Amino acid sequence: MKIVIRPSIPDDLVDIVRIFSQSSYDKREKEIRNAVNANKRGKISILSACMESTVVGAHVLHRPSKTIGKNGVIVVDRECRGHEIGTNLYIAALKVFKAEGRNKVTDSVIGRNPMMVSLLNFLGYTYEGCLRKHTVDGKDILLFAFFLDEYDIPENSAHVELEIPETEYMEEVVK
Ligand SMILES: CC(C)(COP(=O)(O)OP(=O)(O)OC[C@H]1O[C@@H](n2cnc3c(N)ncnc32)[C@H](O)[C@@H]1OP(=O)(O)O)[C@@H](O)C(=O)NCCC(=O)NCCS
């Protein structure tokens, strides 16, 4: 299984909406469209993982402040889970935020999602605390962060190629 991770393009939209509809993040079409439009301007806001010409996973990127990046929704096609695609989308996001000169990337895990917790631990994210009974349905939110100025980004897997372009936006942001 050879996977290429790159910024999402308009042609990916149908696949991404289909994959998101397999999860509880099904009502995100507008967010996905906005993120793809931002990609066109060089502000990489959604990444696609592609197997041949099919998108099999996507990951949204946010910027809450000048120095901080934040992982948004990530979904991998049900048929393709367990092949480190999610892990490598996260590695690609760290590389984007690092290229922009940011020093911290945050993530929040809602409720019990042991796979996400083990994925973040594996990548070197630090646990920062818990917002107890924080969602409308009373779930906890676990806070994690990766400090780009303290830790090296893990290598991507051998079967995954990262195609992250240098963009003008990267030059403008923090540097
Ligand atoms: C969460 C999700 C994106 C993970 O995608 P995935 O491609 O299946 O994830 P990976 O194959 O990278 O697997 C992650 C697991 O492999 C581990 N892992 C990855 N690479 C590894 C390696 N080289 N060595 C050891 N462990 C590794 C991770 O720690 C994690 O551990 P687990 O299987 O023991 O729980 C996917 O399950 C999904 O789409 N879920 C539904 C939507 C969702 O919940 N999104 C998260 C909230 S936005």
| 175: pLDDT strictly greater than 70 | no
67 has pLDDT over 80? yes
- Tell if the pTM clears 0.75, that is, is over it: yes
Residue where the block lists tokens 């000048």? 66
Q: DSSP character for 145?
A: E
The mean predicted confidence, pLDDT, of the chain is 95
Q: Which of 2-16, 71-85, 160-174 has the lowest mean pLDDT?
A: 160-174
Residue recorded with tokens 């695609």: 85
User: Rounded to the nearest whole angstrom, what is the distance from the C-alpha of residue 171 to the centroid of ligand 1?
Assistant: 31
Structural domains present in the chain: 3-103+154-168 (3.40.630.30)
Strands across the sheet containing 160-162: 126-131, 141-147, 104-110, 68-76, 54-62, 46-51, 3-7, 160-162
Residue 172: per-residue pLDDT? 83
* Length of the chain as a residue count: 175
**Centre of ligand 1 from the C-alpha of residue 91, in Å:** 12
Residue 28: what pLDDT?
Answer: 87
Residues above pLDDT 70, as percent of the chain: 98
Cβ(32) – ligand 1 distance below 6 Å: no
Q: Which two tokens stand for residue 93?
A: 């996001």
Burial of 144 (0-12, 13-18, 19+ CB in 10 A): buried
Q: How many CB atoms lie within 10 A of CB 6?
A: 18
Residue pair 18/75 in contact (Cβ under 8 Å)? The answer is: no
Q: Could you report the per-residue pLDDT of 8-37, keeping only the tens digit for each?
A: 999 999 999 999 999 888 888 999 999 999
How confident is the model over 74-108, as pLDDT tens digits? 999 999 999 999 999 999 999 999 999 999 999 99
Model pLDDT for residues 115-130, shown as the tens digit of each residue: 999 999 999 999 999 9
Which ligand 1 atom is the nearest neighbour of the CA of 114?
A: 35
- Determine the distance separating the centroid of ligand 1 and the alpha carbon of 87, expressed in angstroms: 6
5 lines ligand 1 (CB under 6 A): no
Q: Which of 107, 87, 74, 60 is nearest to 153 (CA)?
A: 87
pLDDT at 160 over 70: yes
Q: How many CA atoms lie within 13 A of 161 on its CB side?
A: 9
